[in-house]
Amino acid sequence: MAKQFGLSNDSVVVVIGSGAGGGTLSNELAQQGIDVVCLEAGPRLEMSDIVNDFNEMFTKLSWLDKRVGSGALDPDLPLWVCKTVGGTTVHWAGAALRFQEHEWKARTTYGDIDGANLLDWPIEAREMERFYSLAEDKMGVTGRHGIPHLPGNNNYQVMELGAKRLGYTQVHTGNMAINSQARDGRPACQQIGFCMMGCAIGAKWSTMYTEIPKAEATGHFELRPESMVLKINHNAAGQVTGVVYADKDGNLHEQKARIVAVAGNSVETPRLLLNSESSQFPDGLANSSGQAGKNYMRHTTGAVYGIMPGPVHLDRGTQMAGIIMDESRHDPKRGFAAGYELETLPGFGLAGVATFMSPGGWGREYAQDLEMYRNTACMWIVGEDLPQEANGVTLHPTEKDQYGLAVPVVHFEDHANDIAMRNHAFKAGRAVYEAVGANKVYERMPFSSTHNLGTCRMSEKPEDGVCDSTGRAHDVPNLYISDGSQFTSGGAENPTLTIVALAIRQAETIAERMRKGES
């Protein structure tokens, strides 16, 4: 029988969210004998709920509560993230890359760039090496620690050939948190090609079926699905004391806590802090800097589609196992700071390509291009975007959600550096496909944001950010930020490996502090 903790038990660590950050932190703490209650807004699915159907899984997994996008974002679906046990690690594609050394020191490396709110991480690259290794081992990342790479699908082979003809050298099937051989009680990838719908056999790492059941097995962990946290409470001393949440029937409860860790992804985390304002914290909990909700980053993305002379069948095989890393370096001679990766991307079926390849596309020529679906290849750009104060999350002045909470408004505009980088990446992607004889190339602006970062960032000085180098809020000693919101800068790499590495590191710190009797 699963462990249950009382609502008045104030010795537990409450973790909000069960995704990459929250699921990992929960398990790491529970493994050290620390009692954890994890409150997750979404339902708990079984493996049998995962089916190889994009539309059905999108509806089952995605966070579809009202959010308003502004600026360059989709007004109705600014973000593509999950509301389910396992969080967005159920949807994710598994690309698990380390930051490059210089990316930990963005301000120092890139200098003072007009309009950018750049800052160095208060962490040294060398310190992260151990935590990256632990995270890679936990997640079974290919190409690391002797784990073989995945085979390349056709979409990759087209990209690889084009890249090599252009002289790129760092081209391979990526570092993927997908089993290339049976490992950790989970099977090897069967190349089914539905990674981003949830992997039905569990070859892809997801906290849903790795961290969460492992935490439960310790007897120190309770998961409460369909529990949406509405507010974090605190006492007169400015320490958090517990959280108020709504259960699946809308009944409110207060769970007491010794420590609260927030890992709701980069919109819900600052939204919860802002909604937890009080007379003592009038601008929101842990927000004396005014930085909660600001500096939102989503990576400079975009897609390049190539219509090739022969069949590609781009949806077959592991979806994102393919990368060109040569452009990820910082090389200001290209006309912008920082760098980007090029990664294989599936088409999400003919309907997906019809929707995404050229939104609003029409007429005979476009229809003919869609007829060439089986010949289509596709790649995705992932580049470092620059933090800007004006990009971020605020509370809607009037509109409320089903819990009576102010709806989040997410605003994002590209920085000039982001635009220059994307244009460079479009050209590079086009050149790759043209090098293998593409008949036509489409360039596609970003979709709803899948990488969401920076809205409660780490900073050396309290006035520059929300949390310190351990993720502990500068203003509140027993409150932690435990997800991608902590990111001081985004790097050119897909972020989840870094989120997991930081969660492992944070668990060590929390355990050590608890052992010493600190909060």
Ligand X SMILES: Cc1cc2nc3c(=O)[nH]c(=O)nc-3n(C[C@H](O)[C@H](O)[C@H](O)COP(=O)(O)OP(=O)(O)OC[C@H]3O[C@@H](n4cnc5c(N)ncnc54)[C@H](O)[C@@H]3O)c2cc1C
- Could you list the residues that contact ligand X (CB under 6 A)? 16-22, 39-42, 80-84, 87-89, 91-95, 196, 228-229, 263-265, 268, 272, 320, 450-451, 483-484, 494-496, 499
Among 318, 459, 470, 489, binds ligand SF4 (CB under 6 A): 318
d(CA 234, CA 239): 5
Q: Report the SS3 class of residue 337.
A: coil
The burial class, CB within 10 Å (0-12 / 13-18 / 19+), for 224 is buried
Nearer to ligand SF4, 232 or 345 (CB): 345
- Amino acid (1-letter code) at residue 519: S
Q: Which of ligand X, ligand SF4, none is residue 178 near (CB under 5 to 8 Å by kind)?
A: ligand SF4
364 CB neighbour count, 10 Å cutoff = 7
What does the longest C-alpha to C-alpha distance in the chain come to? 71
Are β-strands 392-400 and 406-412 bridged in parallel, bridged antiparallel, or unpaired? Answer: antiparallel
For residues 91 and 82, the answer to whether their CB atoms sit within 8 Å is yes
- Per CB under 6 A, the segment of 194-202, 339-347, 470-478, 485-493 that binds ligand SF4 is 194-202
The burial class, CB within 10 Å (0-12 / 13-18 / 19+), for 108 is exposed
Alpha-carbon distances, residue 423 vs 105, 149, 257, 303, 428 (angstroms)? 25, 30, 48, 11, 9
Nearer to ligand SF4, 166 or 201 (CB): 201
d(CA 364, CA 347): 21
- Per CB under 6 A, the segment of 15-23, 132-140, 201-209, 227-235 that binds ligand SF4 is 201-209
112 CB neighbour count, 10 Å cutoff = 7
Please tell me whether residue 316 binds ligand SF4 under the rule CB under 6 A: no
Q: Which of ligand SF4, ligand X, none is residue 35 near (CB under 5 to 8 Å by kind)?
A: none
- Per CB under 6 A, the segment of 18-26, 191-199, 241-249, 440-448 that binds ligand SF4 is 191-199
Among 189, 232, 308, 377, binds ligand SF4 (CB under 6 A): 189
Please tell me whether residue 194 binds ligand SF4 under the rule CB under 6 A: yes
Please tell me whether residue 57 binds ligand SF4 under the rule CB under 6 A: no
Nearer to ligand SF4, 201 or 350 (CB): 201
The burial class, CB within 10 Å (0-12 / 13-18 / 19+), for 64 is exposed
Please tell me whether residue 193 binds ligand SF4 under the rule CB under 6 A: yes
DSSP element (H, E) containing 355: helix 349-356
Q: Which of ligand X, ligand SF4, none is residue 194 near (CB under 5 to 8 Å by kind)?
A: ligand SF4
For residues 414 and 391, the answer to whether their CB atoms sit within 8 Å is no
Please tell me whether residue 201 binds ligand SF4 under the rule CB under 6 A: yes
For residues 37 and 80, the answer to whether their CB atoms sit within 8 Å is no
The minimum distance between CB 18 and ligand X, in angstroms, equals: 5
- Per CB under 6 A, the segment of 2-10, 64-72, 197-205, 370-378 that binds ligand SF4 is 197-205
The minimum distance between CB 319 and ligand SF4, in angstroms, equals: 6
- Per CB under 6 A, the segment of 192-200, 243-251, 324-332, 334-342 that binds ligand SF4 is 192-200
Q: Which of ligand X, ligand SF4, none is residue 20 near (CB under 5 to 8 Å by kind)?
A: ligand X
d(CA 492, CA 354): 28
Cβ-closest position to ligand X: 19
The two three-digit tokens of residue 396, written as one number: 């809607």
Question: Residue count at the site for ligand SF4 (CB under 6 A)?
Answer: 13
Please tell me whether residue 154 binds ligand SF4 under the rule CB under 6 A: no
Crossing angle (nearest 10°) for helices 349-356 and 363-371: 150
Q: Which of ligand X, ligand SF4, none is residue 204 near (CB under 5 to 8 Å by kind)?
A: ligand SF4
Among 204, 422, 451, 472, binds ligand SF4 (CB under 6 A): 204
**Residue 285 DSSP one-character state:** T
- Amino acid (1-letter code) at residue 440: K
Please tell me whether residue 203 binds ligand SF4 under the rule CB under 6 A: yes
47 CB neighbour count, 10 Å cutoff = 12
Per the listing, tokens 């807004």 go with 41
Tell which residue, 486, 506, 339, 518, has the closest CA to residue 422.
339
For residues 11 and 200, the answer to whether their CB atoms sit within 8 Å is no
Nearer to ligand SF4, 195 or 395 (CB): 195
The minimum distance between CB 380 and ligand X, in angstroms, equals: 9
**What mask of x and - would describe binding to ligand SF4 in positions 110 to 149, judged by CB under 6 A?**
----------------------------------------
The minimum distance between CB 66 and ligand X, in angstroms, equals: 14
Q: Which of ligand X, ligand SF4, none is residue 192 near (CB under 5 to 8 Å by kind)?
A: ligand SF4
Q: At a CB cut-off of 8 Å and minimum separation 6, what does 299 contact?
A: 382, 383, 384, 385, 449, 451, 453, 490, 495
Q: Which of ligand X, ligand SF4, none is residue 199 near (CB under 5 to 8 Å by kind)?
A: ligand SF4
Q: At a CB cut-off of 8 Å and minimum separation 6, what does 315 contact?
A: 193, 346, 347, 348, 349
Please tell me whether residue 479 binds ligand SF4 under the rule CB under 6 A: no
Interface residues toward ligand SF4, by CB under 6 A: 178, 189-195, 199, 201, 203-204, 318
